[in-house]
Amino acid sequence: MKLNLKIWRQENATAKGKMVDYPVDGIDGDMSFLEMLDILNEQLVEKGEDTIQFDHDCREGICGSCSLQINGEPHGPDKLIATCQLHMRSFKDGDTIYIEPFRAKAFPVIKDLIVDRTAFDRIQQAWGYVSVNTSGNTVDANTIPIEKEKADESFNAATCIGCGACVAACKNASAMLFTSAKVSQYALLPQGRVEATERVQAMVRQMDEEGFGNCSNTGACEIECPKGISLENIARMNREYLAASVKG
């Protein structure tokens, strides 16, 4: 398969970037998208050119590292997968593919296709956890009965891998789906209810401070999320936040 790649190149965080054309040949449909980029990088090394920098780690859709905007969509045209799970059979011989970094003011480009997503870490650090006294008297979580439905909803929210596709897909670069998934996974469980008020206030405050946009309910985040995180989490976070504001 022969492809024409248009890839965002940017020397560093302060440099001005631009799209650069890279024709690439010998691509097999069974290759993953990242393997295709590996082949391109090998060709660049042979030519003595600077390789294209992109994030990756597990390459099996778990870590959330691979963050590429492919033909205008986060993680490419296929749904419910991360970039590393995208295969080249999703493209045709002769296709032109645009590859850009996830764009948001809160996700500044570090180099080429790598963006700084530590804004998500700071939201998580704001209160994306349950405070547990580990003095030795900790109660086993399994002894607390939880409705199956609630446990499943919490688990589904917890499957968010923090890849940032929701931000990348949103026309407002909003981080509501990510933050709401993190709020929901605790808000749905009795262990998380204890600090629910403080948690939602702290995480939303941090989300706003990071400079993400507002949610205008377009639903793009839900469609592009590789883990299928539901918009229902955003509605739940809105309820949690408004209730927390009333409590003060």
106 is a site residue for other proteins (CB under 8 A): yes
Shortest distance, position 48 Cβ to other proteins, whole Å: 27
Alpha-carbon span 199 to 58, nearest angstrom = 30
Give the type of residue at 120: F
Whole-number Cα distances in Å, 90 to 8, 43, 73, 87, 222: 21, 23, 13, 6, 21
Q: Is 228 in the site for other proteins (CB under 8 A)?
A: no
**Interface pick for other proteins out of 15, 139, 235, 247 (rule CB under 8 A):** 235
CA dihedral 66, 61, 221, 246 (to 10 degrees): -100
The span from the CA of 190 to the CA of 146, in Å, is: 8
Residues numbered 155 to 184 that lie near other proteins (CB under 8 A) are 169, 171-174, 176
Beta carbon of residue 217, minimum distance to other proteins (angstroms, whole number): 4
Q: Which of 153, 164, 137, 222 is nearest to 192 (CA)?
A: 153
Q: Work out which of 68, 86, 104, 202 binds other proteins, going by CB under 8 A.
A: 104
**Applying CB under 8 A, does 105 fall inside the site for other proteins?**
yes
The answer to the question of residue 207 lying near other proteins (CB under 8 A) is yes
* Residue 150 makes contact with other proteins by CB under 8 A: no
At its nearest, how many Å lie between other proteins and the CB of residue 95? 13
Q: Report CA 89 to chain centroid distance, whole Å.
A: 23
Whole-number minimum distance, CB 6 to other proteins, in Å?
A: 7
Would you count residue 110 as binding other proteins (CB under 8 A)? Answer: no
According to the binding rule CB under 8 A, does residue 223 interact with other proteins? yes
CA-CA distance, 208 to 119, in Å (whole number)? 10
- Pair type for strands 68-70 and 3-9: unpaired
Contact set with other proteins (CB under 8 A): 6, 8, 19, 69, 71-73, 77, 98, 100, 103-106, 109, 169, 171-174, 176, 204-205, 207-208, 211-220, 223-224, 231-232, 234-242, 245
